[in-house]
A and B are shown apart, each in its own frame.
Chain A
Amino acid sequence: MANSRTNRHDYVRYAIKRLIQGVITVWLIATATFFAMHNVPGDPLLDEKAVSPEIRKNLQAKYGLDRPLLEQYGIYLANMIGGDFGISYAQENRSVNDIIREHFPVSAILGILSIVFAGLGGILFGALTAINRNRLPDIVIMFLVILGISVPSFVFAALGQMTLVNVNALLGTSILPVAGWGTVSHMIMPSLILGLGTMAFLTRLMRSSMLEIDNADYLRTAISKGLPPTRIFLRHQLRNAILPVITVLGPSIAAITTGGFVVELVFAIPGLGRYFVQAVQQSDYTVIMGTTVFYGAFLVLMVIVVDLLYGLVDPRVRLD
């Protein structure tokens, strides 16, 4: 039943297999989104000011929207394989590739920073609450966790920005910028706020995970062997408890990168999240498709990375 650790050759083969599966998954995502998008009423050519039927026909022909759906799909797929995601309808003259290329790094930086905060904070606070179970630190942190997940992110964003303004006014100088993007100091506040929700989740997860293994046999063995507590923590507790956290981490990165919309809005950050939400509202076909495929690929990649990490962290897990 249980194998010993997989060897490196198997590892690489597994990774390649996953990548191929990933490509298929992304293709499926693209297809589903394409047909969903075209079946929702409203098209990118509608606007507040109506245009004459002739002009509308011209526009439809220009963008190829008058052709049968399957043909449009085929054309789109062919372009996509060539790396061309088309031109945005709402932001005419900007190619989707440009939009993704210019705005995704912003969201990515924001997302990664948030995950770093969330991860470090989550693991740290989670461990703290588990070790100090039922004592004051546990209760305080859990209270904050509950607050953190009950209160929606836009409240935190607004409150955070307001607090920053007041602090700056009090100190007479801008310790951190209130909004905007461009320097490292611009990144701190928004990524903190973006990471709060995930931090709360990870704290909880870590705590529950650590409490579970509290009574595990190998732990008792280690304690009775007389190992120092730090070593026990790092070698045994952390390593085993962290698995669920890692499971969540992958998709969390993807979720935070896409869901940073509110934070991007409040802090005036030119991230991809804003463009994506606007694209849906404006039925901007090309941007919807481009960002969905891109995010899908990103997500799939994250999941693969996480699964590969699994194998490293817990040697008992078969990757197959």
Chain B
Amino acid sequence: MWLLASLSEGASGNALDAVEGSVTLALSEEPPQLDSSRATDTVSSQILGHVMEGLLRYDEFNRIVPGVAERWEIGATKATFWLRDDAFWSDGTRVTAHDFVFAWQTALDPQTASEYAFILYPIKNAEAINSGQLDTEVLGATALNDTTLLVRLERPVAYFDSLLVFPTYFPIKRSFHNEHQGRYGADASDLLYNGPFVIEKWIHGSQLRMVRNPHYWDRDRIRLNIIDYAYITSDVNATLNLFKDRKIAIAGLNSENLDDALQRHWKLERFNEGCVGYISFNHRSSRLTRNRHLRRALQLAMDTNELVYKVIAMPGNLPGISFFPVWLQGIENQFRQEFPAPETQVDVARARGYLAQAKKELGLDEWTSLTFLTGDRATTNKISEYLQQEFKEKLGLDIKIDRQIFKQRLAKMSSGDFDMVLAGWCPDYADPLTFGDLFASWNKNNRGEYSNPELDHWVRIAQNSLEPATRMYAFSQIQKIIHFDAVILPTYESGSVFVRDPRLKGVVKRAVGMDSDFSSAYIDG
């Protein structure tokens, strides 16, 4: 029985073993499943990025380089990929273009109900297939032969190459998938691997251990032999204790245990995670927050500097200025350098003026209370309580905090049962469009139901154009609209601080794709 077997071995081992070439880490959550066509969360992406590979991949300098595809050509209407002939699955068979076609068809199949099917929509007929109007066979992706993949595009997509790195685009071998029908991705033996590592052991809730994949075509590049996620817990203090006990090589820090870390003279590192936190408004006609002046009043009364620097006090966070985070690339340099975001200083007097205007426009005698929907996380509690008090002191508004746990909060967001909600958005791919199209009126994730034809117009331009200058200009216009219409109020751009065993080098952290890439990591000393 597995229980007895694991009793003898246990999650032992040191953080780093130079001889074995192994590194031990902790995972924050159990990956729900590792079916690349359906994976949605960061943990699954983290694992899948190490055990599988798509047509393209990111290298240690975050450039897009060949993966399974040796070379490619991306045009306005179609893209062609020539696959290498030495890319193998972990069962020894070759990775072929058919595997990609099958994977994409499966992801778009409405029966699969993949949440990330939308990322395949640039492919011809993809959206129609996903809504059940067409059969999966007519997907605009064809395997001309085993090593040539032809993709017909629905419309020109400037950032198509950055999409191909996403797990939903990874290949799946048809015969293997059918053999493990219903259980594909459920366990280590229910997966076929074509990436730098394979999963050797997966004890649910307890351990996930990856070892070097001898069949990987670029195996000489990989310097680690074993990546062992020997602990699975979301408790930050627990992982820090494991790090102190030298059982794991990396641990995240928060503002509460920072001083302790500083006193131990550890090497700390900072990383811009790339996500944006914001207050989302309900723009439905039944809500007070549909009024622009009310939103502007709140915007002018909120001091994001104080919020980020004093209240959240997490190193790595930046005050929220724009919905587009700083790391996004523009035409040549960073987007926010080329198109600085409009900023407003905190101006309580002007805010009160807007508030009075809003009151008149809404025809109210007295302000009723506004509902502020939040989750049950600690940071959101802090932020919401701080803002509640600030708005009360500065504007005299009564904000009621509505704390809900996960699914109930989602249910309320879907049904529009809120005035304000504390939300966040993380990038799916490395292009400003992943943020830019969120408030388009057709976007299902636009839970506040904001609808502005002008914004929609700019989104369409950004979607369909291939010209960087045109697209970036469109994004700058979207940025302006979001600010002056106070569609949402950015609160902060997320960052993290962590501590790493200094002997572990070459770990690459990314805002998109894998959280931490160990494929070029090595142990020094």
Decide if A and B touch, CB cutoff 8 A. Answer: yes
A-B contact pairs, 18 of them (CB 8 A): A42-B410, A43-B407, A46-B407, A47-B40, A49-B115, A50-B444, A58-B113, A94-B186, A94-B204, A106-B3, A162-B241, A177-B10, A177-B11, A179-B241, A179-B242, A183-B12, A270-B204, A282-B406
Q: Which of B95-112 contact A (CB under 8 A)?
A: 110-111
When C-beta atoms are compared, the residue in chain A nearest to B428 turns out to be A49
Cβ-defined contact, B238 with A265, below 8 A: yes
With A182-B7, A182-B9 known to touch, is A54 a contact of B131 (CB < 8 Å)? Answer: yes
Cα separation A174 to B12 with both chains bound (whole Å): 11
Contacts of B411 in A (CB 8 A): 41-43, 46
Q: Which of A238-264 contact B (CB under 8 A)?
A: none
Q: Does A92 contact B (CB under 8 A)?
A: yes
Cα separation A294 to B268 with both chains bound (whole Å): 46
With A54-B132, A179-B242 known to touch, is A93 a contact of B182 (CB < 8 Å)? Answer: yes
Distance in angstroms from B215 CB to nearest chain A CB is 24
Chain A interface category by residue count: 35 or more
Distance in angstroms from B299 CB to nearest chain A CB is 25
The listed residue (A54, A103, A178) touching B110 by CB distance below 8 A is A54
Cβ-defined contact, A183 with B10, below 8 A: yes
For the complex of A and B, 3 pairs with smallest distance between CB atoms: A182-B10, A42-B407, A270-B205
7 more contacts with CB within 8 A, not counting A47-B40, A162-B241, A265-B235, are A49-B445, A50-B414, A90-B32, A161-B241, A178-B247, A179-B231, A186-B10
Cα separation A270 to B130 with both chains bound (whole Å): 37
Cβ-defined contact, A55 with B232, below 8 A: no
Cβ-defined contact, B204 with A102, below 8 A: yes
Distance in angstroms from B18 CB to nearest chain A CB is 19
Contacts of A64 in B (CB 8 A): none
Q: Which of A265-302 contact B (CB under 8 A)?
A: 265-271, 274-275, 280-283
Cα separation A103 to B206 with both chains bound (whole Å): 10
Q: Does B134 contact A (CB under 8 A)?
A: no
The listed residue (A90, A184, A268) touching B232 by CB distance below 8 A is A268
With A158-B237, A266-B235 known to touch, is A55 a contact of B11 (CB < 8 Å)? Answer: no
Q: Does A225 contact B (CB under 8 A)?
A: no
What residues make up the interface of A, taking CB atoms closer than 8 Å to B? 40-44, 46-52, 54-56, 58-59, 62, 90-94, 99, 102-103, 105-106, 158, 161-162, 164-165, 168-169, 174, 177-184, 186, 265-271, 274-275, 280-283
Cα separation A94 to B113 with both chains bound (whole Å): 17
Distance in angstroms from A202 CB to nearest chain B CB is 28
Cβ-defined contact, A270 with B232, below 8 A: yes
Q: Does B183 contact A (CB under 8 A)?
A: yes
Contacts of A51 in B (CB 8 A): 113, 115, 444
Cβ-defined contact, A161 with B237, below 8 A: yes
Contacts of A103 in B (CB 8 A): 204-205
Contacts of A158 in B (CB 8 A): 237
Distance in angstroms from B55 CB to nearest chain A CB is 23
Cβ-defined contact, A174 with B245, below 8 A: yes
With A92-B33, A94-B186, A169-B244 known to touch, is A50 a contact of B238 (CB < 8 Å)? Answer: no
